[in-house]
Every structure is written in C-alpha cells, then in structure tokens.
Amino acid sequence: MIGGRGRLVNVYLENTNKRIAFTAGGQYNDKHLDGALERMEETEMNVTDQLNMTMLCDFYELTMGNGYFEAGLQDRITYFDVFFREVPDHGGYAVCAGLDRIIEYILDLHFSEEDIAYLRSKQLFSERFLEYLRNFKFTGDIWAIPEGTPIFPHEPVITVRAPAIQAQLVETFLLLTFNHQSLVATKANRITRAAEGRTVLEFGSRRAQGTDAAISGARAAYIGGCAGTACTISDEVYGVYAGGTMAHSWVQMFDSELDAFRAYCQTYPTNATLLVDTYNSLQSGVPNAIRAFNEVLKPLGITRCGIRFDSGDIAYLTKKARKMLDDAGWTDCKITVSNALDERLIAGLLRQGAQVDSFGVGERLITARSEPVFGGVYKLAAVEDEDGNIIPKIKISENVGKITNPHFKKVYRFYSKDTGMAEADYICLHDEDVDDTQPLEICDPDATWKKKVLTDFTARELLVPVFRGGELVYQKPSLDEIRTYCAGQLATLWPEVLRFDYPHNYYVDLSDKLLKIKLDLLNAGGKSQG
C-alpha cells in the first residue's frame, strides 16, 4: 500500500477524529497499517492522553533488551556513566540540571498493556520478554551530581548501577533531560553574568523547540540565574516566577499610543511597564509614557514604573530615554530591553554605556542558539561477574577525546582552605578515599607535565545517592534552594574559569589506580584481564 524509506505515513480514523503518524524506517505495507489501525481501535488512543515516558527510548534499547533476555544477560549488573566531552560555547564550565525530572521518570517506569500490544505488533520480541516488560520495575542504584553544581568534561555526572535491560532502557530519557536542561542552565548563567547584576528574564517560549522545551527550559534558566520567565505554566508547575506586561498589539488596539499607556497605567498602576517602540520610540513612545505616568501614577504617589524597548539601537535609545525620564523627574523608572539578546550582545551594550536595568532574553537563551547541543553521552563503564566482582569496560577510539574512563567511579572536588575556591576535580575508583590531610599531586590529563601539589585543602564527594534498590533515597531540594546553591557553587570558581574567552582549563584528574586500569585496558585492546 505505502512504501519507501523515510516517508511519513499518516493513518486517520475519521470516526474517532484520531491520528497516528510514524516515520517509515523501512518498507511499510497493508499489514503494518492494518496493525496500526487495529491497535488504535483497541486502545482508543487519544492525542490528549498523557504519554508514557517509558516508551521515550531509542528502539535499539528494546531490541538490545530482548537480545539480553534471550542470551540470559537480563540480570547482569552493569554500570553506566552519563558525562559530556566539551563545554558549550568553548566555555570553562557547565551547570548541571535536570535531575528532578529524571527522578520523576524513574519512579514512573512501567509498560502499559497498550505499550505491550504495540511492541507485540512489531513481531520482533519474544513473549517471554514482553511478559518481563509487563512486570517491569527499576530496581537499580543511581548516583548523581546535584542540580546547580558546576560540572566539567569527562567526569561522571550520573552513574547507573542496574541489571542490563534496566540500565539500557533509561539511556535516552536520562540523556535528553540532562543535555537539554544543563544546556539551558549553562547558557542562562553566561547571560546573567554578562548582565553584571541586572535582572534577566527568560522570554523564549514561543521560539522553543516544543512545549516541554519551553516549560523545562524556563526551569533550567531559573537555576542558571534568570529571575523569572514569561512562561506561565512553568510558574504553575515549578514555581518559576512568571511576569509580563504588554505587546505591541496592546498599543495598536487603542486609538492612540497615549490612550493605550493611560489605560495600562490605570489597570496596573503598581506594575506599569510600557512598550515604547510601537511607532517612534523617542518622538512619541517615551514622551507618551512620561505623560501617562504624570497623569495616572503621579497623583497616586507611585514613582516606580518602567519602559521597554524591543527594537532599534538599544544603546542609543536607552541613553536618550534615560535622560528624558530623569529630566521629567522619573528617576525611578526602570528600562527593560529585549530583542534577540545573548551574553555577547549584552556585554557589548554595557560597554557602550547602555542604560538598562533588566534584560528580557528569548530565542538565544531557550534554544542556546550559539551551540544548541550539549553532547552528553551514556557509556558502559563496568559489569559484575557472577561473584559480584566489578569488571571494568572501556570504549576505545582513534579520537582520543572519545576514549572512556572505565570502572565504577566517584568524583571529588578539592577546595582551598585559605580561599574556599575550587582547585580541581578528581575521578577515582569507588572504593578509594582521599586523605585531605596529606599533600596530593594532580595534573592536567591533557597535558600531564602540568602538575601541581595541593596542600591545605578539603575534599568533597560530588556524586550523591539518589536511588538504592529502586527506592528513592534523595531528599529533593526546592527550586529556589537549587538556584541559591548554584550561585554559591559558581562563586567558588576562579574568574579565569568563568571568563567567556579562552577560559582556564579546570583540572579534572584521574587517580593513579584508575589511570593504571585505563592504560592496561588500552594496551590490551579493551579486553579486561580480570
């Protein structure tokens, strides 16, 4: 009936006004389509139904799972690490985010009867495997670096210890959640630092790549330092402060710009921020705003108000507007600007002396437009044999940066006792302990001749238990607590690490024991001798 690779096939059920769409990765025929129709009729699938996120996985995770089951490996304990290789925008650090969503996902892992029916229709999976999925529950352990923590390349941010099928199945969701929210949180922090203490609001919902990107992106932006969002539902769901005033359509709706400004001031006298660039910013917008403030707010004794520019030469317009407002006695009137801003444009505006009190940042924040992929990966690091011994595993590549760090690991961060600043991170075996009463030599793994000896330091483990035996053991902090924690942790990084251009390469070293295991595996072509 319908065939061809990469073709989008749409099947409609006119009597129920429902639709299924799927991408044909191979050849599709009447049998495939009839099967889809039958499944829809049986399950009465509705696009408004809540999706089961367990099914948000790459299909190979299911084919591999079935293969593990048929090979008798479904219960083999595995260790997988989530980590990333490069900081976006050539920066010196990233901000970890997304753990809250991952926790909710793990707690809800299950396969519905509809999911089982769909998988059976693929005619790829054994009935024994499908029965296993019907009773599926995550029973493993998870460690993670808390949200808001600065993180660096190659160190484990999340470690999953679980039976093979379970560990494999969660890969896609863990990566997409960690990658997206960490990307936006990192970008938000770069932008808020560029603002030099001025308020930054996230305005990007309408340009986000889908609904979830808008909602969770606003949450991540808040962690990274944004003061609030224009995304209403993120306030409702997560408590990210949502605010807003007017669009150009408000001004256009009235007979005159002045009428529009008067009406808004009358309706929201304590929150009057007027958009002044609908027609002519300096000739009509700012003068009409001043007139509306004088006529409506001044008699009420209100001096706090604002104007916003969304176009034009922001540096020039804000300097002119500031003088006009001050000359008219509205010294407390704040100036907000928006219009495709990012950290470099903001920094440039401030260098030019732009008179800005707050920034509304949209598309370049919510999409991390300058580098919209975080690049986190999920790699096998170890397995357990029948006696519970941990057997390290390594991925070898001709690209040195893609060679993984094997074994079950933990991560320390070292802080100077004198300054409280972070000095380096240290990846070691899970059963290694660092004695911070003794000097410790560390080096840059990419340039091993660069060495330094740490003395008078404190060591803190970064990975904390989140799940044990499938049970949640982590006390989730509030979003405000995460945001405050993030600011505090970023304050421990040296300015050289934080700078936008050519930042200092923060040390992430390997312990001698871990390095030896890695080198032995490399010399053996990846085959463990254990």
Structure tokens at 92: 């010196």
Q: What domains lie within the chain, and their CATH numbers? A: 8-49 (no CATH), 55-184+373-523 (3.20.140.10), 185-366 (3.20.20.70)
pLDDT for residue 34: 55
Residue 46's nearest CA partner among 9, 13, 81, 80 is: 13
Residues paired with 440 in a beta bridge: 454
Residues making up the chain, counted from first to last: 530
pLDDT for residue 366: 96
Sign (positive/negative) of CA torsion 503, 148, 139, 114? negative
pLDDT for residue 49: 53
Structure tokens at 436: 């911070």
Q: Model confidence over 156-205: pLDDT tens digits?
A: 999 999 999 999 999 999 999 999 999 999 999 999 999 999 999 999 99
CB 156 within 8 A of CB 85: no
Distance of alpha carbon 137 from alpha carbon 131, whole angstroms:
12
Q: Computed over its alpha carbons, how large is the radius of gyration of the chain?
A: 27
- Other C-beta atoms closer than 10 Å to the C-beta of 168 total 24
State how far Cα 346 lies from the chain centre: 22
pLDDT for residue 451: 85
Residue 160's nearest CA partner among 141, 145, 174 is: 141
Helix (H, G, I), strand (E, B) or coil at 312: coil
pLDDT for residue 529: 56
Residue 356's nearest CA partner among 419, 297, 308, 417 is: 308
Helix (H, G, I), strand (E, B) or coil at 403: coil
Residue 342's nearest CA partner among 370, 322, 317 is: 370
- Local structure of residue 478 (DSSP, 8 states): P
Q: In terms of DSSP H, where are the helices of 17-156?
A: 30-43, 59-70, 99-107, 113-121, 127-134
Distance from first CA to last CA of the chain, Å, rounded?
54
Amino acid present at 147: E
pTM of the model: 0.89
Distance of alpha carbon 309 from alpha carbon 336, whole angstroms:
6
CB 78 within 8 A of CB 406: no
- pLDDT by residue for the chain (530 residues), tens only, comes to 333 323 233 333 333 333 333 333 334 445 554 554 455 444 444 433 578 999 999 999 999 999 999 999 999 999 999 999 999 999 999 999 999 999 999 999 999 999 999 999 999 999 999 999 999 999 999 999 999 999 999 999 999 999 999 999 999 999 999 999 999 999 999 999 999 999 999 999 999 999 999 999 999 999 999 999 999 999 999 999 999 999 999 999 999 999 999 999 999 999 999 999 999 999 999 999 999 999 999 999 999 999 999 999 999 999 999 999 999 999 999 999 998 899 999 999 999 999 999 999 999 999 999 999 999 999 999 999 999 999 999 999 988 889 999 999 999 999 999 999 999 999 999 999 999 999 999 987 777 788 889 999 999 999 999 999 999 999 999 999 999 999 999 999 999 999 999 999 999 999 999 999 999 999 998 776 54
- Local structure of residue 401 (DSSP, 8 states): G
Q: Hey, what long-range contacts does 324-333 have (CB within 8 A, 24 or more apart)?
A: 324/282, 324/286, 324/287, 324/290, 325/286, 325/290, 328/290, 328/294, 330/290, 330/293, 330/303, 330/305, 332/303, 332/304, 332/305, 333/293, 333/304, 333/305, 333/306, 333/307
Structure tokens at 164: 């093979």
191 to 145, 318, 383, 492: CA distances (angstroms): 23, 19, 41, 18
User: Which are the contacts of 242, defined by CB distance < 8 A and separation ≥ 6?
Assistant: 228, 229, 230, 231, 232, 234, 235, 236
pLDDT for residue 4: 32
Backbone dihedral angles phi then psi of residue 250, each to the nearest 5 degrees? -60, -45
